[in-house]
Protein backbone atom coordinates (compact mmCIF):
# COMPACT_ATOMS: atom_id res chain seq x y z
CA UNK A 1 0.00 0.00 0.00
CA UNK A 2 1.30 3.42 -0.92
CA UNK A 3 1.37 5.93 1.91
CA UNK A 4 1.06 9.19 0.04
CA UNK A 5 -0.74 8.31 -3.14
CA UNK A 6 -3.98 9.60 -4.57
CA UNK A 7 -7.25 8.58 -2.98
CA UNK A 8 -9.71 6.60 -5.04
CA UNK A 9 -13.32 5.53 -4.88
CA UNK A 10 -13.89 1.84 -5.60
CA UNK A 11 -17.47 0.90 -6.43
CA UNK A 12 -19.22 -2.36 -6.81
CA UNK A 13 -21.70 -1.82 -9.62
CA UNK A 14 -24.93 -3.76 -9.61
CA UNK A 15 -27.09 -3.15 -6.60
CA UNK A 16 -24.68 -0.41 -5.58
CA UNK A 17 -24.81 2.22 -8.31
CA UNK A 18 -27.75 0.78 -10.22
CA UNK A 19 -30.69 -1.39 -9.40
CA UNK A 20 -30.11 -4.19 -11.92
CA UNK A 21 -28.12 -7.39 -11.40
CA UNK A 22 -26.45 -9.92 -13.68
CA UNK A 23 -29.73 -11.71 -14.34
CA UNK A 24 -31.28 -8.61 -15.93
CA UNK A 25 -28.47 -8.58 -18.47
CA UNK A 26 -28.80 -12.30 -19.15
CA UNK A 27 -32.56 -11.91 -19.56
CA UNK A 28 -32.00 -9.02 -21.97
CA UNK A 29 -29.82 -11.18 -24.19
CA UNK A 30 -32.22 -14.11 -23.86
CA UNK A 31 -34.91 -11.93 -25.38
CA UNK A 32 -32.70 -11.11 -28.33
CA UNK A 33 -31.95 -14.55 -29.75
CA UNK A 34 -32.08 -15.41 -33.43
CA UNK A 35 -35.65 -16.42 -34.17
CA UNK A 36 -38.73 -16.63 -32.01
CA UNK A 37 -38.22 -20.25 -30.94
CA UNK A 38 -34.70 -19.66 -29.65
CA UNK A 39 -35.82 -16.48 -27.91
CA UNK A 40 -38.63 -18.27 -26.08
CA UNK A 41 -36.42 -21.24 -25.24
CA UNK A 42 -33.64 -19.09 -23.84
CA UNK A 43 -36.02 -16.82 -21.94
CA UNK A 44 -37.86 -19.71 -20.34
CA UNK A 45 -34.56 -21.41 -19.54
CA UNK A 46 -33.26 -18.27 -17.85
CA UNK A 47 -36.46 -17.87 -15.88
CA UNK A 48 -36.35 -21.51 -14.77
CA UNK A 49 -32.80 -21.16 -13.50
CA UNK A 50 -33.60 -18.20 -11.24
CA UNK A 51 -34.01 -20.25 -8.03
CA UNK A 52 -30.75 -22.02 -8.74
CA UNK A 53 -28.97 -18.71 -9.32
CA UNK A 54 -30.30 -17.49 -6.02
CA UNK A 55 -29.25 -20.61 -4.16
CA UNK A 56 -25.72 -20.66 -5.56
CA UNK A 57 -25.29 -16.96 -4.85
CA UNK A 58 -26.26 -17.55 -1.26
CA UNK A 59 -23.75 -20.39 -1.06
CA UNK A 60 -20.81 -18.71 -2.74
CA UNK A 61 -20.34 -15.83 -5.16
CA UNK A 62 -17.55 -17.74 -6.92
CA UNK A 63 -19.68 -20.84 -7.45
CA UNK A 64 -22.50 -18.59 -8.65
CA UNK A 65 -20.23 -16.94 -11.20
CA UNK A 66 -19.03 -20.25 -12.61
CA UNK A 67 -22.55 -21.56 -12.88
CA UNK A 68 -24.18 -18.35 -14.06
CA UNK A 69 -21.91 -17.52 -16.97
CA UNK A 70 -22.39 -20.98 -18.46
CA UNK A 71 -25.73 -19.58 -19.65
CA UNK A 72 -23.79 -17.54 -22.19
CA UNK A 73 -22.26 -20.64 -23.81
CA UNK A 74 -22.76 -20.63 -27.56
CA UNK A 75 -23.57 -16.91 -27.85
CA UNK A 76 -21.72 -15.13 -30.64
CA UNK A 77 -19.35 -12.38 -29.61
CA UNK A 78 -20.58 -10.10 -32.39
CA UNK A 79 -24.14 -10.44 -31.25
CA UNK A 80 -23.31 -9.78 -27.60
CA UNK A 81 -21.31 -6.70 -28.45
CA UNK A 82 -23.86 -5.45 -31.00
CA UNK A 83 -26.66 -5.41 -28.48
CA UNK A 84 -24.57 -3.89 -25.69
CA UNK A 85 -25.56 -0.36 -26.68
CA UNK A 86 -29.23 -1.26 -26.57
CA UNK A 87 -28.63 -2.97 -23.25
CA UNK A 88 -27.22 0.27 -21.90
CA UNK A 89 -30.06 2.44 -23.16
CA UNK A 90 -32.91 0.13 -22.25
CA UNK A 91 -31.78 -1.68 -19.14
CA UNK A 92 -28.77 -0.15 -17.44
CA UNK A 93 -29.26 3.60 -17.88
CA UNK A 94 -32.79 3.66 -16.46
CA UNK A 95 -31.59 1.55 -13.55
CA UNK A 96 -29.02 4.08 -12.31
CA UNK A 97 -29.98 5.17 -8.81
CA UNK A 98 -30.98 8.82 -8.42
CA UNK A 99 -28.12 9.47 -6.03
CA UNK A 100 -25.40 7.81 -8.13
CA UNK A 101 -24.41 10.82 -10.27
CA UNK A 102 -24.32 13.04 -7.15
CA UNK A 103 -22.13 10.61 -5.28
CA UNK A 104 -19.67 10.27 -8.16
CA UNK A 105 -19.65 14.04 -8.71
CA UNK A 106 -18.85 14.70 -5.05
CA UNK A 107 -16.12 12.09 -5.12
CA UNK A 108 -14.59 13.63 -8.23
CA UNK A 109 -14.85 17.09 -6.71
CA UNK A 110 -12.36 16.07 -4.04
CA UNK A 111 -10.03 14.57 -6.64
CA UNK A 112 -10.65 10.88 -6.17
CA UNK A 113 -10.09 8.50 -9.04
CA UNK A 114 -13.27 6.61 -9.92
CA UNK A 115 -12.97 2.84 -10.25
CA UNK A 116 -15.65 0.21 -10.66
CA UNK A 117 -15.01 -3.43 -9.82
CA UNK A 118 -17.83 -5.63 -10.89
CA UNK A 119 -18.82 -9.20 -11.61
CA UNK A 120 -20.66 -7.99 -14.73
CA UNK A 121 -19.23 -8.68 -18.19
CA UNK A 122 -16.87 -6.08 -19.57
CA UNK A 123 -18.59 -5.49 -22.91
CA UNK A 124 -21.97 -4.95 -21.22
CA UNK A 125 -20.84 -2.03 -19.10
CA UNK A 126 -18.43 -0.17 -21.34
CA UNK A 127 -20.93 2.56 -22.26
CA UNK A 128 -22.23 2.77 -18.74
CA UNK A 129 -18.72 3.48 -17.48
CA UNK A 130 -18.37 6.34 -19.95
CA UNK A 131 -21.76 7.67 -19.01
CA UNK A 132 -20.95 7.68 -15.29
CA UNK A 133 -17.51 9.16 -15.82
CA UNK A 134 -15.63 6.20 -14.38
CA UNK A 135 -11.86 6.37 -14.90
CA UNK A 136 -11.08 2.65 -14.71
CA UNK A 137 -12.98 -0.53 -14.28
CA UNK A 138 -12.38 -4.22 -13.75
CA UNK A 139 -15.06 -6.61 -14.92
CA UNK A 140 -15.41 -10.27 -15.76
CA UNK A 141 -14.39 -11.38 -19.22
CA UNK A 142 -16.09 -14.19 -21.13
CA UNK A 143 -13.90 -16.66 -22.95
CA UNK A 144 -14.59 -16.71 -26.69
CA UNK A 145 -13.35 -19.44 -29.05
CA UNK A 146 -13.79 -18.86 -32.76
CA UNK A 147 -16.11 -15.95 -31.97
CA UNK A 148 -18.42 -17.92 -29.68
CA UNK A 149 -18.65 -17.85 -25.89
CA UNK A 150 -17.57 -21.01 -24.12
CA UNK A 151 -19.47 -20.11 -20.93
CA UNK A 152 -16.23 -19.85 -18.98
CA UNK A 153 -14.86 -16.73 -17.35
CA UNK A 154 -11.28 -15.75 -17.92
CA UNK A 155 -9.42 -15.47 -14.63
CA UNK A 156 -9.39 -13.59 -12.39
CA UNK A 157 -13.07 -13.93 -11.59
CA UNK A 158 -14.16 -10.65 -10.10
CA UNK A 159 -15.89 -11.55 -6.86
CA UNK A 160 -15.29 -11.43 -3.12
CA UNK A 161 -11.60 -11.68 -2.23
CA UNK A 162 -10.50 -11.38 -5.85
CA UNK A 163 -11.85 -7.83 -5.93
CA UNK A 164 -9.78 -6.95 -2.88
CA UNK A 165 -6.69 -8.56 -4.42
CA UNK A 166 -7.21 -6.64 -7.65
CA UNK A 167 -7.61 -3.40 -5.66
CA UNK A 168 -4.35 -3.97 -3.80
CA UNK A 169 -2.46 -4.62 -7.02
CA UNK A 170 -4.10 -1.65 -8.70
CA UNK A 171 -3.23 0.59 -5.77
CA UNK A 172 0.39 -0.56 -5.90
CA UNK A 173 0.59 0.00 -9.62
CA UNK A 174 -1.23 3.34 -9.74
CA UNK A 175 0.06 4.81 -6.49
CA UNK A 176 -3.33 4.83 -4.80
CA UNK A 177 -3.51 5.35 -1.07
CA UNK A 178 -6.00 2.77 0.18
CA UNK A 179 -6.15 4.27 3.67
CA UNK A 180 -7.54 7.45 2.17
CA UNK A 181 -9.74 5.62 -0.32
CA UNK A 182 -13.42 4.74 -0.26
CA UNK A 183 -15.14 1.49 -1.21
CA UNK A 184 -18.87 1.17 -1.83
CA UNK A 185 -20.92 -1.99 -2.03
CA UNK A 186 -24.36 -3.38 -1.34
CA UNK A 187 -23.41 -6.96 -0.55
CA UNK A 188 -21.71 -8.88 2.22
CA UNK A 189 -19.82 -10.79 -0.49
CA UNK A 190 -17.79 -7.59 -0.97
CA UNK A 191 -16.64 -7.50 2.62
CA UNK A 192 -12.98 -8.03 1.57
CA UNK A 193 -12.96 -4.97 -0.70
CA UNK A 194 -14.70 -2.90 1.95
CA UNK A 195 -12.24 -4.02 4.58
CA UNK A 196 -9.06 -2.89 2.88
CA UNK A 197 -9.90 0.80 2.51
CA UNK A 198 -9.98 3.54 5.09
CA UNK A 199 -13.55 4.55 4.29
CA UNK A 200 -15.90 1.63 3.66
CA UNK A 201 -19.47 2.55 2.82
CA UNK A 202 -22.50 0.27 2.56
CA UNK A 203 -24.98 1.33 -0.11
CA UNK A 204 -28.51 -0.05 0.05
CA UNK A 205 -26.99 -2.98 1.98
CA UNK A 206 -28.33 -6.48 2.30
CA UNK A 207 -29.19 -7.64 5.81
CA UNK A 208 -25.79 -9.10 6.66
CA UNK A 209 -23.85 -6.13 5.33
CA UNK A 210 -26.13 -3.74 7.19
CA UNK A 211 -25.41 -5.62 10.42
CA UNK A 212 -21.69 -5.53 9.72
CA UNK A 213 -21.73 -1.86 8.78
CA UNK A 214 -23.67 -0.97 11.91
CA UNK A 215 -21.31 -2.93 14.13
CA UNK A 216 -18.25 -1.32 12.59
CA UNK A 217 -19.73 2.18 12.41
CA UNK A 218 -19.47 2.32 8.63
CA UNK A 219 -21.58 4.86 6.81
CA UNK A 220 -24.77 3.44 5.33
CA UNK A 221 -26.12 5.17 2.24
CA UNK A 222 -29.39 4.98 0.43
CA UNK A 223 -29.00 6.12 -3.18
CA UNK A 224 -32.47 5.07 -4.32
Q: Report the interface residues with other proteins, using CB under 8 A.
A: 9, 98-99, 102-103, 106-107, 109-110, 112, 182, 184, 199, 201, 214, 217, 219-223
**Contact call for residues 120 and 157 (beta carbons, < 8 A):** no
9 versus 171: smaller Cβ distance to other proteins: 9
Minimum distance from CB of 221 to other proteins (Å)?
A: 5
Tell how strand 136-145 and strand 219-221 pair up: unpaired
For the bound state, the minimum distance from the C-beta of residue 103 to other proteins, rounded and expressed in Å, comes to 5
CA angle at residue 58 from 57 to 62, to 5 degrees? 45
Strand (E) or helix (H) holding 64: helix 61-68
Collapse the DSSP code of 6 into the 3-class scheme (helix H, G, I; strand E, B; otherwise coil) and give the result: strand
To other proteins, the closest distance from the beta carbon of 148 in angstroms equals 42
In this structure, what DSSP letter does residue 51 have? Answer: H
Choice between 195 and 214, CB closer to other proteins? 214
Please name the residues in contact with 209: beta carbons below 8 A apart, sequence gap of 6 or more. 185, 186, 187, 188, 190, 191, 202
Q: How far is the CB of 209 from other proteins (least distance, A)?
A: 13
189-208 burial: b if 16+ Cβ within 10 Å, else e: bbbbbbebbebbbbbbbeee
Please identify, using beta-carbon distances, which residue of 142 and 203 lies nearer to other proteins: 203
Q: Look up residue 112 and give its DSSP letter.
A: P
- Supply the minimum distance, in Å, between the C-beta of residue 180 and other proteins: 9
- CA dist 93 and 124 (Å) reads 12
- Residue closer to other proteins, measured from CB, 65 or 204: 204
User: Considering beta carbons, is residue 68 or 182 the nearer one to other proteins?
Assistant: 182
CB 7, min distance to other proteins, A: 10
Nearer to other proteins, 32 or 108 (CB): 108
Amino acid sequence: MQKNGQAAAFYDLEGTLLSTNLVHTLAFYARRQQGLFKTIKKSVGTFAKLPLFGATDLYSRNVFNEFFFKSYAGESEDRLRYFSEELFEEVLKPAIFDGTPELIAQSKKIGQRQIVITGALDFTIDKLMNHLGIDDYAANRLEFVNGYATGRILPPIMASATKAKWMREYAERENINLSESYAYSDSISDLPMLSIVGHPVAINPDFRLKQTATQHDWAILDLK
